[in-house]
Structure 1
Amino acid sequence: MINKFLLSGFLLGGLFINAQTINETYAKTKKDGKIGINTDIPTRTLTIKNSDDNAGRPPLRLVNTPKYDANVGGAMDADLGGNRQSNNSYFDYRPLVVDNVGDVYRGFPITNNTSFITLTVKNVSGDYIQEFDTGIDYDKYTVTLMSYAFKLPSVAGKMTMLVSQVSAPSKEKGGKYYSRVAPPTVKLEGTSGGNWKLSADYDNMNVESFAFNDATGPTEKVNGTWIITLLIAPKEVVNYIEIEQDLRGSNRGAVSGEASTKLNRLLNQISQY
């Protein structure tokens, strides 16, 4: 992926963009329709080369630039080919990004890069979901599991609860129901060419209902609801690495060696803004 910087960071933070390596002999034959400032060999429609006197400072400054929301509620120079919309929102604006030779591109809307999705899956088999297809393309998006909750169903005239299955600790003691509930196993996984999939389950547990004041009577298996919140972002705007550390049987440790090198490389990369 091209290493890009937000133009706002370039303007305000004084980032130094490396000069282009130009084949001047060839570039001289491609100057038609191009304008150069501080250069006789423009390589784009407008090329601005920083001067020696301005070294270390941004070569471009915008003065009295209106805020993005100044155009909300009225078209801006529509008769001159400008914005024809009568109402704008922040999502209508895109930042400019600059690659490592200074070329400027239109970027993604900042607030559209990441989103939260709350997924409610009703009437599952008891408490069990197996590889539920989220419809989110694994190759295009990075997805993170943020939170989850399991909701017991409401059954008229009955009480519902998670109870242990056969071969697990008994669900009855002294004629009263009880259950030992361990944290559920919730997994989010995917493979190239497919979608992200969810699995969730309380191991060795069932969701059952029984009549009030009748702890020894028959029970009925019922179905519950999972409520799962996901964080989603395009993969091209998310850096991803895998690091591995061997604790050699200890319960304490720290990232070190090759893992530390990989981690610091990533941290340095995402700090270049």
Structure 2
Amino acid sequence: MTNRILLLGLLLGGASINAQNINETNAAGKTKQKVGINTTIPTRTLTIKNSTADKGKPVLRLVDAPIYSKNVGSAMDADLGGNTATSTNYLDYRPLMVDAVGDVYKGLPINNMSILTLTIDKVNGDYIRKFDTGIDYNKYAVAIMSYTFKMPAPASGGIVMLRGGSNTPSVAHGGNKYGVTTAPATVLLTQNGSNWGIYADYPNIGSYEFTSGSTDIGQLVDGTWVITLLVGKRDAVNFTELNFNQGGSAEGIGNSNTTYATQLQNFLKKLE
């Protein structure tokens, strides 16, 4: 049996940036229209260098800065960049990103990871062979947070329940036979063309409606899946898939496999 593990590591504040060292000798001739604090070689429009006395302490402090939500109905007029709206649009607010050199960038919106709940009605019994979410597979990362299968309300005097198919095995107990009707739900994210897809099923089981007290096999009825997804920009997420073959054993140690261990360490390093 092969276990497939999907790892989503959220990098708060946006994507990571590979930084390069600054050559101050060459930078000294490129200081035009740049301002420096505690440095004679500003390398950006504004460069702040920490002083020896404050080594290890933050280089910037904002005093009496408003909380971001208070920018609604800002005292700053629109010409000066104030938000004169009467409600908060969280797309207006982005965290700052700082790379290894110290360069500051505008990050992705603070709501760059969002929760999407899909309600898929009238499926074939309990079975979704393929559902195209419409979410671009290459642009977005998606993870399943939760899922629930709901059966329809029965008619008066009826019962709706999951039961095994006609070819499922039975077990003998006390001279009677009982159908095996227990199976965990299988809900998977798939790639459906260029989009994310969903597969959902209770294997060899279906949702049926019976008349109370009847021995009839019942009628297949269409149920509803409610699936909650976590969705974010793929370039803002550490997105890795690992595979580990447990060889039929009930226990496994991922790092015992060299490929698994190497890929896992590469994944974890991106979180540092």
User: TM tier, shorter chain?
Assistant: 0.7 to 0.9
Matched with 1:98 is 98
1:221-258: CA deviations, max 9, x gaps? Answer: 22111111111122122213344556566433434354
Q: Which structure dedicates a bigger proportion of its chain to helix?
A: 1
Cα pair 2:162 2:207 within 8 Å, conserved: yes
Report the Cα offset of residue 153 of structure 1: 1.6
Q: Which amino acid counterpart does residue 182 of structure 1 have in structure 2?
A: A
Report the Cα offset of residue 204 of structure 1: 1.7
Q: Is the deviation greater in 207-216 or in 249-258? A: 249-258
Q: Which amino acid counterpart does residue 147 of structure 1 have in structure 2?
A: S
- The TM-score, its normalising length taken from structure 1, stands at 0.76
* Structure 1 Cα separation of the partners of residues 251 and 126 of structure 2: 35
Residues 88 and 220 of structure 1: is their aligned pair in 2 closer, same or farther, counting only changes over 3 Å?
closer
1:145-182: CA deviations, max 9, x gaps? Answer: 122121112242333222222221369x9999976131
Q: Tell me, what secondary structure is at the counterpart of 2:240?
A: coil
Report the Cα offset of residue 130 of structure 1: 1.3
1:63-85: CA deviations, max 9, x gaps? Answer: 3323223434x322206613132
Cα pair 2:159 2:212 within 8 Å, conserved: yes
Q: Tell me, what secondary structure is at the counterpart of 1:263?
A: helix
Matched with 1:141 is 140
Kindly report which structure 2 residues correspond to 1:169-248, keeping only aligned pairs within 5 A, or say none. 169=169, 180-190=181-191, 194-216=194-216, 219-245=218-244
Matched with 2:168 is 168
Report the Cα offset of residue 46 of structure 1: 0.9
* Structure 2 Cα separation of the partners of residues 176 and 19 of structure 1: 72
Q: Which structure dedicates a bigger proportion of its chain to strand?
A: 2
Cα pair 1:19 1:102 within 8 Å, conserved: no
Report the Cα offset of residue 90 of structure 1: 7.1
Cα pair 2:150 2:225 within 8 Å, conserved: yes
Q: Tell me, what secondary structure is at the counterpart of 1:54?
A: coil
Unaligned 5+ segments in structure 1 are: 7-17
Matched with 2:3 is none
Q: Tell me, what secondary structure is at the counterpart of 1:241?
A: strand
Kindly report which structure 2 residues correspond to 1:59-138, keeping only aligned pairs within 5 A, or say none. 59-72=59-72, 74-78=73-77, 81-89=80-88, 91=90, 92-110=92-110, 112-138=111-137
- The TM-score, its normalising length taken from structure 2, stands at 0.77
**RMSD, matched Cα:** 3.4
1:115-148: CA deviations, max 9, x gaps? Answer: 2221111111111111100111111111111221
Higher RCO structure, 1 or 2 (CA under 8 Å, sep 6+):
2
Matched with 1:48 is 48
Q: Which amino acid counterpart does residue 123 of structure 1 have in structure 2?
A: K
Report the Cα offset of residue 61 of structure 1: 2.3
* Structure 1 Cα separation of the partners of residues 20 and 54 of structure 2: 14
Matched with 2:149 is 150
* Structure 2 Cα separation of the partners of residues 48 and 19 of structure 1: 18
The count of corresponding residues between Structure 1 and Structure 2 is: 252
Q: Tell me, what secondary structure is at the counterpart of 1:240?
A: strand
Matched with 2:33 is 33
Matched with 1:263 is 264
